[in-house]
C-alpha cells in the first residue's frame, strides 16, 4: 500500500509542472500577439509598398478616394499614377498612355 504523502507529493509535482507549462505558453503568446491599444505596424514589420484602394467617398460633384493612407481627388498623383476618374465602385488611373481601372479593395498596378 502506498502512503498518502507520496501521493500528495506527486499531485503537487504535477500541479507545479502544469503551472510552469501554462506560464511558458503565456509568455510565448505575450511576445507574439499584437497589443490592440497600439496603432500602426509592429516593430520589425514591413509596410506594403503597393497602395491599395481602400474606398470611395461618393459626392457626385467632388468625389474622393482613399488610396493607402492618402485621401485623393481627380487630378491627384499616387505612386506615379494620376487619378483620372472616381466612380462609386473604383477609380480610373493613368500613367502616360497607360490607363487602368482599379476596383475597391485592389492594389494599384506596379508597372
Torsion of CA 73, 75, 77, 80, to 10 degrees: 140
Residue 30: pLDDT band (50, 70, 90) is very low
Nearest to 93 by CA among 73, 68, 71, 70: 73
Q: Is the pLDDT of residue 37 over 70?
A: yes
Q: Mean pLDDT for the chain?
A: 78
Helix spans in the chain (H): 4-32
pTM as predicted: 0.57
> What is the spatial order of strands in the sheet that 70-72 belongs to?
53-57, 64-67, 70-72
pLDDT tens digits for 45-70? Answer: 555 578 999 999 998 899 999 999 99
- Dihedral sign, Cα of residue 6, residue 8, residue 10, residue 16: negative
Amino acid at each position: 500500500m502506498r502512503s498518502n504523502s507520496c501521493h500528495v507529493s506527486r499531485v503537487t509535482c504535477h500541479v507545479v509542472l502544469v503551472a510552469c507549462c501554462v506560464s511558458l505558453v503565456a509568455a510565448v503568446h505575450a511576445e507574439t500577439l499584437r497589443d490592440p491599444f497600439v496603432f500602426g505596424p509592429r516593430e520589425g514589420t514591413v509596410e506594403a509598398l503597393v497602395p491599395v484602394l481602400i474606398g470611395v467617398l461618393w459626392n457626385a460633384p467632388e468625389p474622393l478616394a482613399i488610396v493607402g493612407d492618402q485621401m485623393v481627388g481627380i487630378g491627384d498623383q499616387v505612386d506615379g499614377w494620376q487619378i483620372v476618374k472616381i466612380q462609386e465602385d473604383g477609380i480610373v488611373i493613368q500613367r502616360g498612355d497607360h490607363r487602368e481601372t482599379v476596383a475597391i479593395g485592389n492594389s494599384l498596378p506596379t508597372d
